[in-house]
Amino acid sequence: MAGLLSLLTESWQSGEALARRLGVSRAAVSKEARRLLSEGYPVEVSRQGYRILPGTPLPHLFHPRGRLGRPYRYLGRVGSTQDALRAWAEEGAPEGALVLAEVQERGRGRRGRPWASRPGASLTFSLLLRPSLPLPALGLLPLLAGLALVEAVGVGGLKWPNDLLAPDGRKLAGVLLEAKAEGEEVAYALLGVGVNVAWAPEGAAFLQEFTPLSRREVLEAFLLRLEGLLPLLETPEAFLARYQKASYTLGRPVRVRTAKGVVEGLAEAVFPDGSLLLGGVGVAAAEVELLPLIE
């Protein structure tokens, strides 16, 4: 049966009313609700009937305020939203297209690490951008996405290159940028974002420990911020001045693991290609560990 998901709202509706609207039996509604649950959609069932978990960005409840976030695909179970969006991009999806899934069976983080999430409690989505930029300029995009995230939620700060950390240093969100090149230019960029909103894996933090924002509110606020920040890719100095204010890394002693080994020093600056100036040495995107400040 198609359509139950598109009728659900944050208010309870009886099985009888839903069955009538869909022109099916109550038993068919119940069966479809069970199927949706098994696909990872956060449908709630009680004596009052059915509803979608409040804050879920169902297509008819999600209202992007700018041009990013449309067209929109809201999915249950996928491998990775990055792969779902890449396939859509290859079919010609426009800039702003967004794929959000409740369950990622192979969600990935940076450096080939897995990304854990929980249906109804995490935000896992990928946004398609088609910037007319030379490839090296793309290095700033994940930093810009991190800045959009911290400005959107008003909590925490950024660990270079693009993790959002809670004030106590636990990780709240991460950004993964994957891009396709056409010669020296960017054909498209897949900006993957994972936010722990109401749940976090062991050792990490979730946003609702600090703010009551729902998943839908975080997504809408992020997209609007990102749209406002994107023009700054053309003026890296202006962007970096703003990024610096939200950074937990700059001005701090850090340890970075690069392919060539471990570098320690004061994180002095970020270059226009997104790399970090560390104790007089430039390092490209790598793993940063914040070290205790020495008084």
The answer to whether 108 contacts ligand BTN (rule: CB under 6 A) is yes
Q: Which of 8, 51, 56, 104 is close enough to bind ligand BTN by CB under 6 A? A: 104
Q: Is 272 in the site for ligand BTN (CB under 6 A)?
A: no
Task: Count the residues of the shown chain that bind ligand BTN, applying the rule CB under 6 A.
Answer: 20
Answer yes or no whether residue 222 interacts with ligand BTN by CB under 6 A: no
User: Which residue, 15 or 194, has its beta carbon nearer to ligand BTN?
Assistant: 194
Is 208 one of the binding residues for ligand BTN (CB under 6 A)?
Answer: no
DSSP state, 126? Answer: E
Distance of CA 62 to CAs 55, 65, 68, 163, 221, Å? 9, 10, 12, 25, 11
Name the DSSP class of 247: B
Question: By CB under 6 A, is residue 194 in contact with ligand BTN?
Answer: yes
Site string for ligand BTN, 122-161 (x = CB under 6 A): --xxx-----------------------------------
Q: Which helix (H) or strand (E) holds 2?
A: none
Our CB check for ligand BTN shows the closer of 19 and 100 to be 100
Stretch that binds ligand BTN, among 6-14, 150-158, 192-200, 280-288 (CB under 6 A): 192-200
Cβ 246 to ligand BTN shortest distance, Å: 16
Element (H, E) at 158: strand 157-159
Residues 6+ apart with CB under 8 A from 43: 5, 8, 33, 36, 37, 50, 51, 52, 53
How deeply is 8 buried, as exposed, middle or buried, from its count of CB atoms within 10 A (0-12, 13-18, 19+)? buried
Instruction: State the minimum distance, in angstroms, from the CB of residue 198 to ligand BTN.
Output: 15
Determine, following the binding rule CB under 6 A, whether residue 196 of this chain makes contact with ligand BTN: no
175 forms part of the interface with ligand BTN (CB under 6 A): yes
Indicate whether 56 belongs to the interface with ligand BTN (CB under 6 A): no
Rounded distance, CA 213 to CA 144, Å? 21
**Whole-number minimum distance, CB 251 to ligand BTN, in Å?**
22
Q: Does 166 bind ligand BTN (CB under 6 A)?
A: no
**Which residues does 192 contact at the CB level (< 8 Å), separation at least 6?**
80, 81, 82, 108, 124, 125, 126, 175, 176, 177, 178
For residue 27, what are the contacts with CB-CB under 8 A and spacing of at least 6? none
- Residue, CB closest to ligand BTN: 174
Distance between start and end Cα atoms, the chain:
65
Q: Tell whether residue 82 is a contact of ligand BTN (CB under 6 A).
A: yes
> Which residues in this chain contact ligand BTN in the complex, by CB under 6 A?
80-82, 104, 107-110, 113, 115, 124-126, 163, 174-176, 192-194
